[in-house]
Amino acid sequence: MNEKRRRRLRIILPAAGLILLAAAAARAGIEITAEMRQDAARLQSALDLIERNRAARAALPMRSLAFSEKELNAWVAVLIESDRNGILRELALKLFEENRVEGKAFVDASGVSLPFGLKPRLNIFFSGRVTVWDGAAKIALDKLFFEGQPVSVVLLDTVIAAAAALDKSRAASINDWVALPPGLRNLRSREGVLLLYY
């Protein structure tokens, strides 16, 4: 995987409220179909175009592009597949009004010494709201479950810090603001739809 795509994975997933890539998992991932690759390519092409045209669009009014939940999940699956060294094996998101998101993640953190006797392979379920401000985003979680058991965000922060140290990632806390991809000004969600503002 080229460095640009790896950088994009580390920036965009957290920016979309997916900073949870430091938590959860129990299997080797999902099989990506040709249809999923087409869905992922549509979203990736839009992000590439937004990045290429960011200087020309800076002074213009914002425009938006809409992508389905299905396209977003396909794009995430392709990124996960391309990052063979990452701990995230699967992530599925459900989008709601007002930047609310629910998700399920599978992570294999076998190479990380996790605190509190946590298993290196976990299922994580979460819900929260993504906040975007001044070119950056973060997620405020209101529900979090490891293997079906409710857990504190403090515990997740500890897991993220351990995984970030292993992966040399800049995200070290669920409370960190993460930069949006170049040229992207805002993210919003509706029921089953992601809106990219540029």
In a domain, 110, yes or no: yes
**What is the DSSP secondary structure assignment for residue 27, as one 8-state letter?**
S
Write out the E strands in the chain: 64-68, 88-95, 100-108, 121-133, 136-146, 149-150, 178-179, 186-190, 193-197
With respect to residue 10, please indicate whether it lies within any of the assigned structural domains.
Answer: yes
- In DSSP notation, 127-168 reads EEEEEEETTEEEEEEEEEEETTEE--HHHHHHHHHHHHHHHT
Question: Is 32 a domain residue?
Answer: yes
Number of domains in the chain: 1
For the entire predicted model, the pTM comes to: 0.77
Greatest alpha-carbon pair distance for the chain in Å reads 52
Cβ atoms 26, 111 nearer than 8 A: no
> 29: domain range?
3-190
Q: Write out the chain's pLDDT in tens, 198 residues.
A: 444 444 444 434 433 333 333 333 323 457 899 999 999 999 999 999 999 998 888 889 999 999 999 999 999 999 999 887 777 889 999 999 999 999 999 988 777 666 667 777 889 999 999 999 988 999 999 999 988 999 988 877 777 776 666 656 655 677 789 899 899 999 999 999 999 999
- Residue 197 maps to a domain: no
* Domain-embedded: residue 195: no
Contact 144, 103 (CB under 8 A): no
Distance in angstroms (rounded) separating the CA atoms of residues 14 and 22: 10
d(CA 150, CA 112) in angstroms, rounded, equals 22
Please report the pLDDT score of residue 10 as a whole number.
40
What is the b/e burial string over 65-101, where b = at least 16 CB atoms within 10 angstroms of the residue's CB? eebebebbbbbbbbbbbebeebbbbbbebebbeebbb
